[in-house]
Amino acid sequence: MPDRIALRGLVGHAFHGVYEAERRLGQTFRADAVLELDTAPAAAGDDLARTVDYAELARALHGVLTGEPVDLLETLAQRLADVCLADPLVDAVEITVHKPQADLGVPFDDVTVTIRRTRR
């Protein structure tokens, strides 16, 4: 199993969605990112430069999460994955986007879309 760095529960108010009210009022979105990479070089040298700086990653992901609106959670998840894979140390990433305030017309806890992308 590869080494993993997980960033869970990133929260932001955004305007994603297909419906006009979603675009006008916005709602809370959450995202989780699980990165796969080799952390041994960083651990051996106790060197942040040889791993992913998760504070920097969190800021970049938050910018996408709260940035340009998209219709689909699938599109948002892909954009978040692209940010993670822009780091050459990251071999693969699993992204989950949560939309707990979606208007489904029935009671529910959460709606999520999860994707996994690897470096090609």
Q: Does the annotation mark 29 as catalytic? A: no
CA–CA dist 3, 106 (Å, integer): 39
Nearest to 37 by CA among 89, 80, 94, 87: 89
**DSSP run (H or E) holding 4:** strand 3-14
Active-site residue, from 78, 99, 105, 107: 99
Catalytic residues: 99
